Structure 1
């Protein structure tokens, strides 16, 4: 006797790629996670990490990104957004925020068994709107390839020779082995936090702060400022861990830890940092999309910034202005001086974020904005009024104290940028696996174990990008497993010493400066030719 369930309609029907494309064309946010088709439009206003990371995953199999970023408790909630399922391996689409174009679905037009084509920015694509990455470099060319286009094509071609092919079999094998690596990391308990290590961190930071107060008390203001800057730098590491839920793995508890460190103690906004940082982890090093790479007019980390890029994060054009033309040729020399003032920019960005209410206003994080506003007021009360104004007698000493305490944090900003500025910034298309993309765009810094407290886990950025919720005290052990994974799948693992890593970054900035000089010369030549033609 047949089961009655055989006569009931399926709760989650199998959806074809054309049906899913049609849903996205209609403006819906569709993700694929564990073969499940999810429509997450209703979740976006509640997402603590902001809407941009979700937009960059529309039309993609986001299983890896979703798994490594979210706790097991959150992962269990996806079923409420499921509208269907897929069969076989999903071929990723280019998300609309990245320029992907989608056709409305017409059920009267057959979509199975036929190879359809469409036109995307003048180039033929297959039915999954994917572009060959080398051909994609030619999209904006007219009759002849421009200088910037040719540089992009050369860089993409070189990158493709250094990493595994982008075909489905190769990338599918990488994905399978990455999943196996994730299971091994879980089995070895590397997601479990070492709270004794954090107790030591707390003791160290308390000692540094006490030392700062001692030198402030005896009038050694410059020395006091040095210790205050070092104190802030050390605290950032714990705030970074908390922002990734790598301490307790509980969203509310880790958020409280991170916001308390960032706002009342550091004068910054963890919410602002998470808003940018989650996008950075999703589209690492892509000039048009990664806000951590967008530093014009001071720095151009890739030649594509010389061509007036549109930022999908800031939703505005990033023009290559006159100021940029003056500064970028010297950016290899300006790199360290600019980073000395990085903390002042963080204050500005934090207050813009908080005052404009750019964070989530619904869900678990609705109250974070107000907590951070109060925390930042407390910071400027104890630091700005209590220490700088009340404890330091003269205006000059106050100025020197503020500048030294902030400039001392420069190595921290170097550490943030070191792991990405010299790495690949090319978009190899949606077929590239998450694991390969993270290892291609991120560098690790080699250092002895006794120096780990200086780097704060940021020296393992490639490992961290693969597994963001692994506590930093376990990253060195995780590195050994990742090295085996890289050897097995043939992905290069970028590991440099701190000095050689800095040389690589400065050399990369100098190369972009050289390209800027060539571009400027081309523009002057074209201008002279135009004047000549006009004059005759």
Structure 2
């Protein structure tokens, strides 16, 4: 039987890896997505990061079954001549298919309703405590409730960004803007931009924005070579200032996490008022305007400046638990330099993630993200299923001799601090001829 198909090799496919010439392969069929990248709901960065490769596993992970029917219009007519599927990928795809047939991606449980009611209760109690009570400790408690509210809202925004938590896309977007932008002051557009890049390039030092925190933090000495961030399009300069901060990062880690929200506010504003194309820019700006209207107004209702400052700091302090959790999931995991590869999807997720072990009654507190590996492998899977699929994922990792790390919250903190301390000590020894200022000399000489 004559095969009339046209073939290209993987090496030929790799040549089509530019923004004006962007090809990918899915199950051995080659697609030209150059123009589509600008319209892609997940942004152009995930496509650019995996350009010129077979991206089957990533496509399966992030897209519902209905997405397959849209591929034909991008088909080039070519097939991959040397297309192969590893045993790990076959098992992963089989597992994903089983979950899909069981309807697990559509069964979301009642967690969203509970979460929305809980958020509403927290908000009402916080506002009541500020406006209707006079006690100092009641005001501080209200600040703590606000920080806790921000944590729960972040989980809702995360869920709605990965799968549709409401009945329609319109209502889903409304909940995103309302809970994210209006209640937390952090743009859902900014979150999608960074989070999609993080998922695709999990723990790549130059492609994953979640590991790019110079000058304050560095998880690996590889960052001391001033890598170029492919996400931000600029050099991550490791200079004398970075060296100073990184040298003590294991000490400053928790204080930095307490004020991490300030950076998120700044990043939101930088994106929304940049020249970059931002989906629903006007809606996002409107939501941010709502936040910066009610939040300062609420704080101003407190009786004096001492309470106002302490109220804000208390809310930041409580919410810092979530920022710490996000770093625990990745800081102490394996890192690498370079673009992600489509043919080792499963392996990269296992090496770059750490689960947080906890009792089932604490799942609401961690928002499902304690099952970080399960979430990275099946990002569209509602959080109510993550605990149930955890044993299956563990067995699959064991079968293919891949890491499955599940640590207690305390252990994960120790691992992260050890990682930061190791990099800190390396920073003190790195490039010793580097010019040092007087402050550097004083601190290092006298402790």
| TM-score, length basis structure 1 | 0.76
Q: Distance in 2 between matches of 1:46 and 1:76?
A: 17
Residue 375 of structure 2, aligned match among 464, 467, 479: 464
Residue 375 of structure 1, aligned match among 263, 266, 287: 287
Structure 1, gaps ≥5 residues long:
92-170, 525-536
Tell me the equivalent position of 2:88.
174
Residue 440 of structure 1, aligned match among 341, 345, 351: 351
Deviations 1:417-441 (A, max 9, x none): 1110000002598485100110111
Q: How far off its partner does 1:380 sit? A: 1.4
Which is higher, the Rg of structure 1 or of structure 2?
1
Q: Distance in 2 between matches of 1:229 and 1:355?
A: 26
Q: Distance in 1 between matches of 2:342 and 2:311?
A: 51
Q: Distance in 1 between matches of 2:376 and 2:420?
A: 23
> Equivalent residues in 2 for 1:405-416 (5 A)?
405-416=315-326
The structure-2 alpha-carbon separation of the partners of 1:252 and 1:435, relative to structure 1 and needing over 3 Å to count, comes to farther
SS in 1 for 2:380: coil
Deviations 1:181-231 (A, max 9, x none): 111222333212334222222222222222212321203321111111111
> Equivalent residues in 2 for 1:275-286 (5 A)?
275-286=193-204
Residue 209 of structure 1, aligned match among 123, 131, 149: 123
Aligned 8 A contact 1:15 1:84 in 2 = no
Tell me the equivalent position of 2:106.
192
Deviations 1:489-523 (A, max 9, x none): 22120111100011000000001112112224476
Aligned 8 A contact 2:19 2:34 in 1 = no
Structure 2, gaps ≥5 residues long:
436-447
| 2:296 matches 1:384 | yes
Q: Distance in 1 between matches of 2:419 and 2:83?
A: 36
> Equivalent residues in 2 for 1:27-42 (5 A)?
27-42=20-35
Residue 303 of structure 1, aligned match among 201, 221, 231: 221
SS in 1 for 2:379: coil
SS in 2 for 1:84: strand
Q: How far off its partner does 1:245 sit? A: 1.6
Tell me the equivalent position of 1:97.
none
> Equivalent residues in 2 for 1:70-469 (5 A)?
70-87=63-80, 89-90=82-83, 172-216=86-130, 217-219=132-134, 220-245=138-163, 247-248=165-166, 251-360=169-278, 365=279, 368-385=280-297, 387-389=298-300, 391-427=301-337, 430=341, 433-469=344-380
SS in 2 for 1:408: helix
Aligned 8 A contact 1:185 1:478 in 2 = no
Deviations 1:277-319 (A, max 9, x none): 1111111111111110000110011111111111111111111
Worse-superposed segment, 425-434 or 415-424:
425-434
The structure-2 alpha-carbon separation of the partners of 1:321 and 1:485, relative to structure 1 and needing over 3 Å to count, comes to same
Aligned 8 A contact 1:271 1:359 in 2 = no
Aligned 8 A contact 2:62 2:380 in 1 = yes
Q: How far off its partner does 1:17 sit? A: 3.8
Equivalences, count? 431
The structure-2 alpha-carbon separation of the partners of 1:314 and 1:26, relative to structure 1 and needing over 3 Å to count, comes to closer
SS in 2 for 1:85: strand
Q: Distance in 1 between matches of 2:71 and 2:63?
A: 11
The structure-2 alpha-carbon separation of the partners of 1:77 and 1:308, relative to structure 1 and needing over 3 Å to count, comes to same
